[in-house]
Amino acid sequence: MTKPLKEVHIAAHFPGVNNTTVWSDPKSGSHIEFSSFEHFARAAERGKLDFIFLAEGLRLREQKGQIYDLDVVGRPDNLTILAAIASITERIGVAATVSTTFNEPYELAREFATLDHLSGGRAAWNVVTSWDAFTGENFRRGGYLKADDRYRRANAFLDAAFELFGSWDPDEIVADKAGGKFLSHSDPGRFEYKDDFFDIAGNFNVPTSPQGRPVIIQAGDSPEGREFAAAKAEVIFTGRSGLQDGREFYADVKRRLAKYGRAHDQLLIMPASTFALADTDEEAKAYAEEVRRAQVSGATALRLLEQFWNRDLSNYDPDGPLPESEPDVVSESLTAGRASARMFGDRLAKAKEWREIAEAENLSIHELVLRVGLGGQGQTFVGSPLTIANQINDLVQADASDGFIIVPHITPSGLDGFVDQVIPILQEKGVFRQDYVGTTLRDHLGLDQPGVINQPDFAAAAQ
Amino acid sequence: MAKDSINLIVALDGTGWHPAAWREADARPHEFTTAKYWKDLAQTAERGLLDAITIEDSLGLQSERPFENDARVDQFRGRLDAVQVATFIAPSTHHIGIIPTVIATHTEPFHISKAIATLDYVSRGRAGVRVQLATRTSDSKHFGRRDFPHFTYDDYLNGNGREFIEELFDEAADYIEVVRRLWDSWEDDAEIRDSKSGKFIDVKKLHYIDFKGKWFSVKGPSITQRPPQGQPTIAVLAHATVPYELAAKSADVVFITPTDKNPASSIIAEVRAAESEVERSLPPLKVIGEIVVFLGKTTEEAQAYRAKLDDFLGHPYQSDAHIFVGTAEELADLIAEWSASGIEGYRLRPASLPHDLNLIVDELVPVLQKRGIFRTSYGEGSLRSRFGFARPANRYASSVKG
């Protein structure tokens, strides 16, 4: 007996404010004009993709106390731009990354419920927990959260938001014109939520939205993050796009679902991925290398090395040799507003290893950064449309993922080739929808309407 | 003609301003959360060449009582987030200004600044924002971060709670200051895309706003570029000295409520006095008069229409604004009268939707056009320009010149 083919899910991530996005290409358009979002959204919907995804950063990144100027800078407000995107599309989901740290449940739940109403049930929320005091300087709450409190607050925030999303009965509004009765009872949207983080009560003022609440996306990788996702998320946005690491992650997270009374298919694993597409595999390989060089210019290579070295290297030549000094692992990071600095691991050991490579192969700073992939390992999928479609499908069928959140490197046209050439092959294989069947994002993802989902106590289960 | 055109704004709210409006035959009370409902209303308003629509909002349920919830089940309740609705409407319209309400109490100026900037990008220069306070104790409990004193409307009339509400006005002034600074925190030409140096932006053209205040401190710059209009129009609805001062200090447009007891001329005098009091640095406030409208094809029809809605309500509808009942011709007469005393535009609050909006568009606008005081087509230009404001210079630009 052959195993039935799994459906592949594909979402499109609007190019972000990091060095994956190539702005120096002549095809690169505006990152803020609505026409760019319109182009991108129309391509994504033409491809019948599951949803459009937007990342968030609430303070401009800095390096050495100065705003980082080598990458794209500037982006719209996520929820607001998605309302406009929902207005010009019919079926595709709209997913906003929004911090639980610098928002309040009542206001954010109103915004998401509104987006879900206006889009006819297509809203999703990628729940993130900004933690740094640097970002806090832009907000009333200010300050920051201890690392341990990040998931606790996110969890509390979601519980509070779920309480609000579910506060109106679906049939609360009677609006019987002849009988003169608008509401079925006098206390609509009644809610109460109290814990270590929130103490709120009253009446929510947005009636229940078509999906009940937005689809919950989460990007956790740590054991705590995985547990959080297994308890509450419906899509995981992960960095694990390979076969082996993908399968391990997939199996681990799906295994955790049972504890929360959730079915295997109620949490989708969708790794972030990039691609370099060309007519032939050979051309694609050359193109991928060209893109990587555009993503990591000499100036960018030097700044990346600076982040790693944690020293001012502005007097160095990217085309010259590595610095003689060792990375400064004692001082506070000279970057702010980005997560990567925390992920470098043992920098002294790695620097030693890199120095050996650079000496053996006679590499400049720029060449070494490209060689060791400090600015990214290159594109996830490289090849002809057929090769990329096969790569994607093979990973999904091997349970390394349920699909991918793909991010093109060119705004806004970078998605076009993928939609017009790769998607049709996935459709021919019978693993990707020919057209939207349902109307809501939950329909596209095969997710139950909330209320069906069992809501266990995350904190108790995590112990 | 366009130069002499009055400004005409329609205030959209649920199924209209009368709490029983949802019972009208053409009302769509089951649809007020849907896409089509808002697109239809916005497109109707645009068909009438109106300057702008406003969208009401609040951080709690509607209530008959000013400072607390009521328990009525026969009145319209529930809303959507106004900024989201505004941005949703923008792509399906092309000329009309869109002015959502934002609540300055409890919310983040950083978020609102970038949201309105985004609305300005999506609408290509048609964004405005009306700033309001949340004075109710019950709203503060929705956030649970500040203790608000409890008082009723009677307490308020007796002078209790006024000091507290004045503080909320001070906070709103800080809020608007932060929003405005963030809009200017990027210079227009900050994006340089210089392949030679590898720089996407010129960091000298991005500015920290370094606002420090009693209620919040905000560092900046915004994560969003300067909006197309530079500074989208900010409006404040004001009924008394303290709000007049907020408008004079911070807003571009003030919505006022002349009544028989308190005529337009004396309010305008107060507004202008407040402008000198605060040493206003912005162009003079554009003064817009508020009118609740119950329209009919005949006077009798309008009166019967109001009587029917009031009958549903159980008492005569009351409002902070003047209540007009009559025909389009009669409303045009009232507008002419108020305009003579210095009112530059009107925000009409339809008693019910779509009834009064349709009559504004199909009856009032042609009458005003015939009288030569309203445009006959949309020209080019931003919402700011329609209010007569130039695109402002960036407050931070001069500091880096040279």
When pLDDT is cut at 50, 70 and 90, the band that residue A455 belongs to is very low
Q: CB-side exposure of B320: number of CA atoms within 13 Å?
A: 11
Q: How many CB atoms neighbour CB B273 within 10 A?
A: 14
Q: Pick the more confident residue, B68 or A413.
A: A413
Q: Give yes or no for a contact between A292 and A370, defined as CB atoms under 8 angstroms apart.
A: yes
**Tell me, what's the pLDDT at A457?**
46
- A331 touching B, CB under 8 A? no
Residue A430 pLDDT class (50, 70, 90 cuts):
very high
B377–A contact, CB cutoff 8 A:
no
Q: What is the mean pLDDT of residues B101-115?
A: 97
Q: Give residue for tokens 């390992």.
A: A377
Higher pLDDT, B153 or B388: B388
Tell me: pLDDT of A458 over 50.
no
Residue B31 has what DSSP assignment? S
Dump pLDDT digits (tens) for A75-91: 999 999 999 999 999 99
Which residues of A are less than 8 Å from B23 in CB distance? Answer: 177, 180
List every span in chain A annotated with CATH 3.20.20.30: 9-280+378-462
AA letter at A368: L
C-alpha distance across the termini of chain B, in Å: 43
Residues 135-154 of A with CB under 8 A from B: 137-140, 142
A34 contact B CB<8A: yes
The CATH number for A9-280+378-462, chosen from 3.20.20.80, 3.20.20.30, 3.90.1150.10, 3.30.560.10, is 3.20.20.30
Q: Considering the domain boundaries, does residue B37 fall inside one? A: no
Domain hosting B98: range is 2-26+50-83+93-184+219-305+312-400
Q: Which residue of A80, A91, A319 is the best one to mutate when testing the B interface, meaning the one whose CB has the most B CBs within 10 A?
A: A80
Contact B108 A139 (CB under 8 A): yes
Q: What is the CATH number of the domain that holds B376?
A: 3.20.20.30
Asked if residue B207 is part of any domain, the answer here is no
Does residue A254 carry a pLDDT above 90? Answer: yes
Nearest CA in chain B to A61: B223
Q: Identify the band that residue B16 occupies on the pLDDT scale cut at 50, 70 and 90.
A: very high
Percentage, residues of chain A above pLDDT 70: 96
Angstroms from B178 CA to nearest CA on chain A: 10
Interface test with B, best of A33, A54, A69 (most B CBs within 10 A): A69
Distance CA B148, CA B166 (A): 13
- CA dist A34 and A84 (Å) reads 9
Q: What is the pLDDT of residue B70?
A: 86
Residue A340: what pLDDT? 56
Nearest residue on chain A to B24, alpha-carbon basis? A177
Does a structural domain hold residue B205?
A: no
Residue B35 belongs to a domain: no
Pick from A372, A410, A377, A451: nearest CA to A211: A451
Asked if this assembly's ipTM is beyond 0.90, the reply is yes
Residues B10, B330: Cα–Cα separation, whole Å: 18
Of residues A376 and B253, more confidence is placed in B253
Residue B289 in any domain: the answer is yes
Interface check for A27 against chain B (CB to CB < 8 A): the answer is: no
Cross-chain residue pair B23–A180, CB shorter than 8 Å: yes
Question: With an 8 Å Cβ cutoff, is B110 touching chain A?
Answer: yes
Mean pLDDT of chain A: 92
Beta-bridge mates of residue B7: B345
Contacts of B77 in chain A (CB under 8 A): 182-183, 188, 205
Total count of domains within chain B: 1
For residues A109 and A211, the answer to whether their CB atoms sit within 8 Å is no
Calpha distance A407→A239 (Å, rounded): 12
Of A24, A118, A199, the CB nearest to B88: A118
Average pLDDT over residues B212-220: 96
Q: Is residue B243 part of a domain?
A: yes
pLDDT of residue A1: 56
Residue B88, domain member (yes or no): no
Alpha helices in A263-344 (DSSP H): 281-295, 298-309
Task: Please tell me the distance from the alpha carbon of residue A370 to that of residue A382, in angstroms, as a whole number.
Answer: 17
Nearest-neighbour CA in chain B from A23: distance (Å): 7
> Across residues A400-417, what is the average pLDDT?
97
Model pLDDT, residue A149 = 84
Between B127 and A225, the more confident residue is B127
In a domain, B195, yes or no: no
What distance in Å separates the CA atoms of residue A9 and residue B262, rounded to the nearest whole number?
63
Give residue-wise pLDDT tens across range A196-243: 999 999 999 999 999 999 999 998 788 888 999 999 999 999 988 899
Place of tokens 């230009």: B381
CA distance B150 to A402: 53
| Cα–Cα distance, A91 to A436 (Å, whole number) | 7
- Over residues B171-205, the pLDDT tens digits come to 999 999 999 999 999 999 999 999 899 999 999 99
pLDDT, residue B150, reads 82
What is the per-residue pLDDT for A375? Answer: 78
